[in-house]
Amino acid sequence: MSTSHQSKSSQPKSSAPTDPYTRFVRSGPGAAIATRLGLPRPAKLPRRDDRREAVLGPVVVLGASAGADQIAAHLLDQGADVRRRFDGLRTVGSVVAVMDELANPADSAEILLPLAGAMRSLARGGRIVTISRPATGGDQSAAIEAARGGVEGFVRSLGHEVRGGATANGILVADGVALDAPSVLGALRFLLSARSAFVDGQFVTVSTAEGSLPADPARPLAGRTALVTGAARGIGAAIARTLAADGARVVLLDVTAAGTDLARLANELRGIPIQLDVTAADAPARLVEQCRAHDVVLDIVVHNAGITRDKMFANMTADRWDPVIAVNISSQIAINEALLASGEGTAPSVLGAEPRFVSLASTSGIAGNRGQTNYASSKAGVVALMPALARSLEAVGGTANAVAPGFIETEMTARIPPLQREIARRANSLQQGGLPQDVAETVAFLAGPDAGGIRGETLRVCGQNLVGK
């Protein structure tokens, strides 16, 4: 995999579309032809460098609960242009619908239907975010459970309807957690920002009131140290650059064969390179040793290392199955165990307080993908690992979450046959492939101090589709 997000300032950069079709239909003649024939015209997605403001205004906060007032007050404190109605607005930048007190399915109409009349006023790259309570599986009354479940159906459908690079997402806040909890506000900030460009039709679940708002929102990871595996190229390099841009010191791990790229990236980011095969039996112990040798305490651990060995299952062999499982899931388990055990005995732990673990899953692990039984098995294992790892980290205030990319423009996806690749690009709500930067931004959000109440979750970065990576 590769990425073009390079600069001397280590700041992630937005890229021009990489596929010829998108370049064509954004041109004058191509746009006219696409309009006449009814062809998809993917909108340019504003990313970090395209839109710096945290909230695209004006932002309309819907809802009459005390929680809605808290959200409006917070956005005002952030300098946003906040309104409580659509009256007089020709353009709407963002909408936050607060539905934390729904008691009956009919209650949502009063909050949501004013938005229907304003949909055509939503700005390009606009944001719609709902804030509600999750269905509990039976702990609440039938009417409450149905009302809460209905919000999820609404958001996922709306995500398919918004146009112009706009997105619709939701935040589910557990009962007992206030809407001004750090992770609620952190999730809201992320979903309203340009950093969530390829996240659509998704929900972030906040299960606890843990976490803290960063002292400097522009550098939320300042003073923290992050390990990124598989860091030399592609999504891994984009993650490293984004974490560094957010203020983190980075430790970059990859295999010896990637040593040149690894050294170049380490020099660019002033990071620490470690050449290591994560599947080696002694890899976990050597990683701990390297951390101690460099006097490194890890606050963030990003498991990005991954490989594919695609083949129809009827032709699957051990030499294709075993390495995928070893790299994509078994190595994570072994490294996690070594890091967690590093503080046992007299030696100090190489893990910092309240560590953040973020693993790369895939939509293949959620929906499956033809020819990827081995890869999908490994990535489904990552998804299932997160709740268990999160529980083991509770005692130290740590978190574990996963990011599941869909179709991302990388060297890996460039090897997909052209017709299949083009179908995969268009088969999502945003009608285009994502960029490595999109995955990196989501990893950085989950690694931040204001994600402390998000635990054991998997957040899809797929433009709202289930397509193999």
| Beta strand pairing call for 92-99 and 122-132 | parallel
Token pair listed for 225: 């140290």
List the alpha helices (DSSP H) in 134-223: 142-161, 182-192
Distances (CA, A) of 170 to 104, 151, 309: 19, 8, 35
Q: What are phi and psi of 167, to 5 degrees?
A: -135, 160
CA–CA separation, 355 and 296 (whole Å): 13
Dihedral of CA atoms 285, 288, 289, 290 in degrees, nearest 10, equals: 120
For 304, the token pair is 């990005």
Token digits of residue 334: 């072994």
Sort residue 98 into left (φ over 0), alpha (ψ -120 to 50) or beta: beta
Give me 207's structure tokens: 């299960």
Q: How far apart are CA 457 and CA 208, in angstroms?
A: 13
21 annotated active-site = no
Amino acid at site 159: G
Q: Which amino acid is at 287?
A: L
Helix residue ranges per DSSP H, 66-135: 66-77, 108-116
Of 357, 375, 407, 445, catalytic: 375
Angle between the N-to-C axes of helices 182-192 and 436-446, in degrees from 0 to 180, rounded to the nearest 10: 160
For residues 198 and 430, give the distance between their C-alpha atoms in angstroms, rounded to a whole number.
Answer: 8
What is the DSSP code (8-state) at residue 328? I
Angle in degrees, CA 18, 408, 320, rounded to 5: 120
In Å, what is the CA distance from 196 to each residue of 47, 75, 224, 351? 8, 18, 22, 28
Residues classed as catalytic: 375
